[in-house]
Structure formats: C-alpha cells, structure tokens
Homo-oligomer: A and B are copies of this chain.
Amino acid sequence: MGEFELIATYFKRDVKRAALGVGDDCALLAPAPGMQLAVSSDMLVEGRHFLATVAPERLGHKALAVNLSDLAACGAKPLAFTLALALPRADAAFLEGFSRGLFALADAHGCELVGGDTTQGPLNICITVFGEVLPGQALLRSGARAGDELYVSGTLGDARLALEVFRGTVSLAGDAFDAVLCAMEQPQPRIALGLALRGVASSAIDVSDGLAGDLSHILQRSGVGATLDVDKLPRSEVLRAQPLALQRLCTLAGGDDYELLFSAAPSRAAQVRAAAARAGVPVTRIGRIDAEASLRLHDAQGRAVSNQFDSFDHFRS
C-alpha cells in the first residue's frame, strides 16, 4: 500500500462544513462571521503518551481526545482537525483500527478531518484541532480571582493508577483493571461542559500533566494562589481502595486525566451546578482561589499536606 492509497482508503472523507477537505495543497475553512478560531496542536509519541500495547482503535480515539480536551478547556465548539502521522510501515490492521477509533470520536463531536500528512518514521501522531468561539467568550487560564471557588470534573487519578499497574508497582485485575485502563486509553473530552461554562467559569485548563501542576498554570497566569482540600479530590472506587499516599499521588500528580479544572465566583455556584447537569458530567468543588500566591494543600481535618506533587515534564520525567 502506497502513501496516496493509504490516505484514500483510511483518511479521505467528504467534508460538510469546510470549503475544501483532504486532497489539495491546503484545506479551506470558512469561519462563521465574527467567530474566533481556537487552535491547538498535540503530538503523541509511543512510550510517552501511549504504550505499545494499546489497541489501535483506542489510540485513534485518544489522539483526537487529548486535542479536543484543549478545545473543551477553552470553551470552543469543535469544527475540524488535521492529522499528521509517521508510521514505521503502512500496516492495514493498525490503520483500520486507528481510523475507526479516530472517526468515531470525531463524528461524536461534529469535528471533521480536513487535511494532514503521512510519512514513514517512528510512530508519531500530531493532530491540530480547530474550534470556534465568540470573541471574549473563550475560557482562559488568566481569569481566576481571589475568592473564586475551584472545581474539577469527573474523577482524577485512574489513568495514573493504570500506568502503575503496567510499571508493576500496583496489582489490579478484572473489572477494576479494565476501568482504569479505559480511563488511560479512552479519555472523554469534556466538550459539553466547556461550552456550558462559557460566561460562568472565570478560568479553566484541562488536566493533562497532573492537577497540582496544571493548577499552577492558572495561578501563575492569574497572579493568585489557591487552597485545596486533597480529601475532596474526586476519585473512583478503584482508586479509593488503594493506599492513601498512592491516592494522593494519582489525583494530584497523575497526568492524563483530561478533566476540566476551573474557577468560578461563589455567586456562580448555581450556574456551575446547572452547567454540570446540562453537560451530564459530575463536578466537584475542591478548594478556593486566594490572593496569597502559591498552592496550599490540606486534608479533611484541616491539617497541612506538603506539596511535593510536581507537574509532569517531558524533559525531566
């Protein structure tokens, strides 16, 4: 199978909204009048962002999901994406599964593939997503204010728990392992929640490198600090069955969660609950924004917990 046959077989589909899709030098997008275009790129490398054991269908899902998660954190509506793919060889079984998982998630969010590139090389997946948002409505990292409440969607830490199973530091089997594996391999981008939080949240970020690290980006960009109750961090029953130190590591510094972390003024609390209900995603209040810089952690009894939870760093980890 050659390069152009590969594209035609697995990746060329008619576009509905874009003015021109796959097959020319450029794709052509026709932005709706007055809309801003939200753009994000994420690159996935084997061994860093996924394990060699992952099913191709789940990898196709995840590659797009981590990009859609950036649109969600911005409150943008997905429109289109490009896919650049380096493959060791044109493997039909891989491509069939990968494209199936990719397009299932793309279709679920009305996000169409408009272009890209394929080349021979070490497996590498680079997706750039495009979404639309009204000027002034994008959720940014810079809008948190002292007194705001801090929230996170879904549960945290299961993806990291799955990684620890692969590393051999934790034993899990059966349904418990399937559940955390699914969290790691098939994250659900919180698009509906991001859209519902426009005009409600004062700041937002998606949790990809671990809650403590990603929160620090909000704090730095907003010029504020925060206090978190580490016992309030939402976690699955599977994670709750693990030792407390592991629970804290996974929820605070896990990475690969793809939940939304956001702040909102206390007066918006009812609107936050309504947005969560509308999106069908649980949201938990986990702390508050302070005027005093840096992040303070405490437990349910109010005792200080030391913050040794660094963000994942691709060049330090």
A residues bordering B, Cβ < 8 Å? 1-4, 6, 19-20, 23-31, 33-43, 45-49, 70-71, 73-74, 76, 80, 82-87, 89-90, 114-122, 124, 126, 128, 130-131, 133, 135, 138, 140-142, 204-206, 221, 313-316
Contact = CB atoms under 8 A, between A and B. Distances in A.
A183 to B, nearest CB: 20
Contacts of A138: 20, 26, 28
A161 B140 CA distance: 50
A25 B115 contact: no
Given A23-B141, A27-B38, A48-B119, 14 more contacts: A24-B140, A25-B40, A26-B38, A26-B39, A28-B138, A40-B115, A43-B84, A43-B86, A43-B119, A43-B121, A49-B119, A89-B315, A120-B314, A120-B315
Contact of A3 (B24, B76, B315): B315
Q: Which 6 A-B pairs have the closest CB atoms?
A: A45-B121, A126-B126, A26-B38, A25-B73, A43-B84, A26-B74
Given A24-B140, A26-B71, A126-B126, A84 B42 contact: yes
Nearest to A69: B25
A19 to B, nearest CB: 6
A131 to B, nearest CB: 7
A122 B119 contact: no
B122 A45 contact: yes
B29 A117 contact: no
A314 B118 contact: yes
Nearest to A89: B315
Number of copies: 2
A178 to B, nearest CB: 28
A30 B135 contact: yes
B25 A29 contact: no
Given A6-B315, A315-B89, A316-B2, A40 B26 contact: yes
Contacts of A46: 121
A29 B3 CA distance: 32
Among A39, A73, A86, max chain B CB count under 10 A is at A39
Nearest to A30: B36
16 contacts: A2-B316, A24-B74, A24-B141, A24-B142, A25-B205, A29-B36, A29-B39, A37-B37, A39-B130, A41-B82, A41-B83, A41-B84, A45-B124, A87-B315, A118-B314, A120-B315
A116 B43 CA distance: 9
A295 to B, nearest CB: 16
A99 to B, nearest CB: 16
Contacts of A84: 41-43, 126, 128
B43 A27 contact: no
Nearest to A124: B124
A229 to B, nearest CB: 25
A29 B128 CA distance: 14
A302 B82 CA distance: 44
B221 A3 contact: no
